[in-house]
Structure 1
Amino acid sequence: MALCRSSTGRLTMVRRVTLRDRDITQECFKSSWNSHKLVHLKAKLSSSLSAGAPGQQSSDKLGENWLYCLKRGQARTPKFPYFDWTGTLRPYPISIKRIVPAHIDKPDWADDGIPVVEPNSDLQHVVEIKSPDLIQRMRETCRIGREVLDAAARIIRPGVTTDEIDRVVHEATIAAGAYPSPLNYHFFPKSCCTSVNEVICHGIPDARKLEDGDIVNVDVTVYYKGVHGDLNETYFVGNVDEESCQLVKCTYECLEKAISIVKPGVRFREIGEVVNRHALMSGFSVVKSYCGHGIGELFHCAPNIPHYGRNKAVGVMKAGQTFTIEPMINAGVWRDRMWPDGWTAVTADGKRSAQFEHTLLVTETGVEVLSGRLPTSPNVFPWLNSS
């Protein structure tokens, strides 16, 4: 969905943002401070965006609909929010909600932001054994999710905004006949999560340009044929420092080691032991506030999959169960803070965080990675390069 503005509005914005500070009288400045502040914020962001890489498509002018997000997606404001930020990252204004065509099958929160079936389902307490038909639908859905995430990965570079990543995710999802599950889920305002640097998870795509040296996690979930498929990866933006490279590689390894033990009879709590052991041996910490989850016809359901050691997850794996493993690993302390938008979780010490996620099926003999990488997936991780 492109940001829609009338031609009149667009021309007015161009005129206003090119005003120089010396052209504003003191009397006007005092009487219209809030308006001026918003104009100059947009001017600064517009200048930043328009200086992007050659040929990139981005929001080159910020209009009246670009606002900061508050109250878990239920409110917007032109004012920069106050917060004792833990790191160097700051929120930027977000664009308006993207449109989903009427022919796309939608989950029950698509229109009003409130899931109805999910929180009241017995599957919040019972781990479902999926039918062969449901499993096949999940295979199809996760394949779409993988192709959507790969499309996002291909555009990541310095100068691209996270809003542009969201646009690619949204359009690729719709083109496949699917719905982007995060969109309006408990009022989340975007079609994917983009978590940069110290953001642990649930970062909201906005007008900020990715910078050389950033790391960014893109979390995609799609809804297709009545089921959800969930996956994410953390990507390098340009030239990344060695510690960040090791953090991302360790996080990838944590997920791989956790997947390797999945089979019937294994206790869910063992996943956290495996992840925790590898992260600590590498000098990193494991986030405790967020966990993996059951998935299928519901976006989130039983079982809960903690990634830290000595957790109290109950139950054992059985063939036909589907769930995600999605370790979040921090370079510093494991504790997290929440930004004023009510969604963006960041590290308490401002150090970086990485995450990887797959949707998995427990089989009779082991595990099937439903969201696994494809031969066509972009070659973005150095440790996967064949010799």
Structure 2
Amino acid sequence: MTQLPGLLDTEAIRKDFPLLDRVVHDGKKIVYLDNAATSQKPRQVLDALNAYYERHNANVHRGVHVLAEEATALYEGARDKIATFINAPSRDEVIFTKNASESLNLVANMLGWADEPYRVDRETEIVITEMEHHSNIVPWQLLAQRTGAKLKWFGLTDDGRLDLSNIEEVITEKTKIVSFVLVSNILGTLNPVEAIVRRAQEVGALVLIDASQAVPHMPIDVQELGADFVAFTGHKMCGPTGIGVLWGRQELLEDLPPFLGGGEMIETVSMHSSTYAPAPHKFEAGTPPIAQAVGLGAAVDYLTSIGMDKIAAHEHAITEYAVQRLQEVPDLRIIGPTTAEDRGAAISFVLGDIHPHDVGQVLDEQGIAVRVGHHCARPVCLRYGIPATTRASFYLYSSPADVDALVAGLEHVRNFFG
């Protein structure tokens, strides 16, 4: 068995994840390498979800009976856990959404409806990057179409990094918002936050970071990032689907208008007008994802018990090993950084002229689960002149044996297609 420095005890960790014991296709034990799409869930999270539904299920806030009080305590307790996990200055800066996409849309819509100095209009500019997930492209395209604002973006270098050579021309005095991904879901690139935030602050622009591929994998301190907003999702960090998070600076959340209207987000309502509750409730209209928040809180407990610094070290070792091994495969081209420096644990590649969908199908027959397609990042594929990629992505339970299985599987793919 390959030994690498900094590895977690994956054999022990995998015992917490029931799905990883599953066998598929004539008894092959599954090799799960699709973690950038969604992570598997440990028993601790599954147990927390079951316990909530079996013992505490009720709607939150306002209710005075014991179940409502218990459900509220669990729901708000999850907010406390998230705030601590990302080192938010205040728990009231943590907004629950249904996913990172909703978090990003929430900010885009707030800025479209905001008063000065935050309003996006035809005299202003929005800045994103060419490596964004569609969830951080389409909301800004929609906002630009509605307001007349100009949409601008940073391009990519040949090796999968952001091209910041023209940063002063891209981020200007007209820029209202700079929204970019911390770790690319397709390239794996870890972006230079400090340089982008510094330039945005020089011109008075707000900064939104999509940390969906970062928060599950490394320690994140929102105060150190220096951004105004940070978005991420629960299902990629051992939590349930249907729960996301938007962190925002308190003073901004107080000044910006709500995106959705309904129950819970109000202070008073008459037939003529309404006033709004303080943040975070101002941005959480209707019955929230209660059980999902409880599950996410349990996921945070689980990750914290292992240690995010240890998870980051483990993934760096696995990624470094995977990058090296994949480059041993003939005709394989990694799309993105070809070293483990400043990159996350998602590796996209093409294999000769074999279509990625064919690669994925043959790997699946061997029990190896990867992702194929453009990964909701089609502009990246257009930039590098490819229709799609195969993506392998790793997590805290991934092992060198998983990497070896992938490499052996790719040799089988090459032989299959002659």
TM norm. shorter chain > 0.5: no
Q: Which has the higher contact order (CA 8 A, sep 6+)?
A: 2
TM superposition score normalised by structure 1:
0.31
TM superposition score normalised by structure 2:
0.29
More helix by share: 2
